[in-house]
Structure 1
Amino acid sequence: MHILLTGGTGLIGKHLCPFLLNHHKVTVLTRNPIQAAVLLTHQVVAVKSLDEVDFEQIDAIINLAGEPIVNKRWSDSQKRELLDSRIKLTQQITKKINRCNSPPHTFISGSAIGFYGRQGDCKIDESFNDIYPEFSHVLCRDWEHAATKAESEKTRVCLLRTGVVLSKHGGALDKMLPAFKFGLGGPIGHGKQGMSWIHIDDMIQLILFVLSHKDICGPINATAPNPVDNNEFSQTLGSVISRPAMLRMPAWVLKLMMGEMSDLLLHGQFVIPDKLLKHNYRFHYPELKPALESLRL
């Protein structure tokens, strides 16, 4: 297949690209084609604009681009950047798809479990619709809505509601590790909030799985089948790196430091990947401790 990938130099994209190149031709949309070619190897075709892509020749699109959600405090301008970096590009892609006589047969587009908003201790699958209307939900809702405009008899749309991706290099874990390695890590707030996580290897393999299984479409929870609360996550991480994890971060301190963005850490969801399990996807890392141990932190 010929695959168009956006967000190719991000955490998931740069891990995914080598696997795609094993069997497919890959075009990557990037602001810096030279850097992308170096980072992702010269086998990829790097372009700066969708106008450089002949969508009639594209078989599938994997859309992972977007401003990182926790890089900056959520000012009004940063919220707009988070929205625009996802939605405007997705809208451009859907317009290109809809103009095709022979459009791509698959459009896999990013989203996140933040779609569900804060949900206490209930278990959530893809059918859950009792949504808490906070910014993370609005961001994911509008992103997904833009992607579904490409859906037709010729094009299936898959929406990856991704959890906390565990990787040694980059992502949320990379930000947590320094404090934990100095023995300064611990639970956040009361620690009972859900943490729905996924190992980077499973994240890559499930994207390939969805790409090859044409009967899968719509929302897909991209999380491991055994979410934990923040207390358990902190204790398990501390155990794996042989450090204490006793210093609890008070909620008020986090709110003072991060403002509204602290909601992502103080609240959570226990998300179940029901659709993947029903399609017999086998997780390499269904349990947290082996997943963390495999990263050799």
Structure 2
Amino acid sequence: MATVAIAGSSGLIGSALVYALRATDHQVVRIVRREPANSDEIYWNPDTGEFDAAALRGVDAAVNMCGVNVGAKRWSGAFKQSLRDSRIDPTEVLSQAVADAGVGVLVNASAVGYYGDTGSRVADETAPQGRGFLAQLCRDWEAATAPAQQAGVRVVLTRTGVVLSPRGGMLSRLRPLFSLGLGARLGSGRQYIPWISLEDQIRALMFAIQTEEVSGAVNFTGPAPVTNAEFTFAMGRVLNRPTPLMAPGFALKALLGEFAEEGLLGGQRAIPAALERAGYEFRHHTVGEALAYATSTVEW
């Protein structure tokens, strides 16, 4: 079985990946910013570039899930800089260490925000970079893997959509509102939501680690993206609650500023062409299946 080193292992996706890898007898090494508690942890300080690449000797794959949540707060200039710093600097440091240590695979987080607001246009991995802060952030984030790519490492750039999880993530904020009958479409509701269940996110990450044919940009989204209005209706149906309400776009912009414009009122009709071409088989094919799983299951 493979030895996998993971940075960002305490987040929603990282912690679930650790659990799944260990459950299938893989060895997991956590890359941590504090003093290591045991031999399964490696210290680094990406802020200063401190990382002993020798600690990655014998590691088969590295996974980088670092990054502050883009929806954690209103997008001030300082917060936007923290979004960049929490992604680009750690990626550069880990990418160089992976190259120096001769690790064979680097699976690096990215996001479908790379495509900007695609409207109704379908976006596979060949779609161009879009406009806006998120698109530029994703471009620079992916470019930070250059040291590993130049060293011949197989690099997978996981352009992830909205992860539907039994715990945490977007649903942890939405479920209480929908349960009270306060679920609402956002603005026109025509913007697309490129969802993926947490189970498929983790299975696809493990698939990417193990599958030589998977490299470059890969959309980690479900096979059937839906509009915000369709998502709202599906969420209400799963929870057996009405969803007649609408949150006006101008109110969201007034409350949340630039994040509302890019993160809530825009969207990506992204499809997982690269994953499906490589032979990945989804567990959840529709948003209804993914929501039923995410609202009735407790995992990791």
TM-score by length of structure 1 reads 0.92
- Give me the whole-angstrom Cα distance separating, in 2, the residues matched to 1:271 and 1:23: 33
**1:148–1:157 CA contact under 8 A, matched in 2:** no
Name the residue aligned to 1:121.
Answer: 120
Name the residue aligned to 1:26.
Answer: 28
- Give me the whole-angstrom Cα distance separating, in 2, the residues matched to 1:152 and 1:69: 29
- Give me the whole-angstrom Cα distance separating, in 1, the residues matched to 2:27 and 2:174: 36
**1:241 offset after TM fit, Å?**
0.3
**2:6–2:64 CA contact under 8 A, matched in 1:** yes
Deviations 1:4-38 (A, max 9, x none): 1011110111111022123322111223568xx7x
Corresponding letter in the other structure for 2:41: A
Name the residue aligned to 1:291.
Answer: 290
Corresponding letter in the other structure for 2:269: F
Deviations 1:40-90 (A, max 9, x none): xx8x81333133862232211000011111101111110110001111011
**1:104–1:154 CA contact under 8 A, matched in 2:** no
**1:149 offset after TM fit, Å?**
2.9
- Give me the whole-angstrom Cα distance separating, in 2, the residues matched to 1:169 and 1:33: 28
- Give me the whole-angstrom Cα distance separating, in 1, the residues matched to 2:70 and 2:83: 7
One of 160, 163, 171 as aligned partner of 2:161: 163
- Give me the whole-angstrom Cα distance separating, in 2, the residues matched to 1:190 and 1:254: 12
**1:152 offset after TM fit, Å?**
4.2
- In structure 2, the CA distance between the partners of 1:56 and 1:288, relative to structure 1 (3 Å rule), is same
**1:153 offset after TM fit, Å?**
6.2
**1:98 offset after TM fit, Å?**
3.0
- Give me the whole-angstrom Cα distance separating, in 2, the residues matched to 1:69 and 1:48: 25
One of 218, 238, 241 as aligned partner of 2:239: 241
Q: Pairwise mapping of residues 1-297 of structure 1 onto structure 2 (< 5 A)?
A: 1-21=2-22, 22-32=24-34, 45-49=40-44, 50-51=51-52, 54-100=55-101, 103-129=102-128, 131-152=129-150, 154-263=152-261, 264-297=263-296
- Give me the whole-angstrom Cα distance separating, in 2, the residues matched to 1:231 and 1:158: 32
Corresponding letter in the other structure for 2:178: F
Corresponding letter in the other structure for 2:249: A
* Equivalent position SS for 2:148: coil
* Equivalent position SS for 1:295: helix
- Give me the whole-angstrom Cα distance separating, in 1, the residues matched to 2:58 and 2:144: 22
* Equivalent position SS for 1:69: coil
- In structure 2, the CA distance between the partners of 1:248 and 1:53, relative to structure 1 (3 Å rule), is farther
**2:179–2:241 CA contact under 8 A, matched in 1:** yes
- In structure 2, the CA distance between the partners of 1:216 and 1:203, relative to structure 1 (3 Å rule), is same
**What are the ranges of 5 or more consecutive residues in structure 2 without an aligned counterpart?**
45-50
Corresponding letter in the other structure for 2:29: T
- In structure 2, the CA distance between the partners of 1:234 and 1:105, relative to structure 1 (3 Å rule), is same
- Give me the whole-angstrom Cα distance separating, in 1, the residues matched to 2:174 and 2:92: 34
- Give me the whole-angstrom Cα distance separating, in 1, the residues matched to 2:236 and 2:54: 47
* Equivalent position SS for 1:276: helix
**What are the ranges of 5 or more consecutive residues in structure 1 without an aligned counterpart?**
none
- Give me the whole-angstrom Cα distance separating, in 1, the residues matched to 2:112 and 2:61: 23
- Give me the whole-angstrom Cα distance separating, in 2, the residues matched to 1:193 and 1:199: 19
* Equivalent position SS for 2:184: coil
- Give me the whole-angstrom Cα distance separating, in 2, the residues matched to 1:191 and 1:149: 41
* Equivalent position SS for 1:149: helix
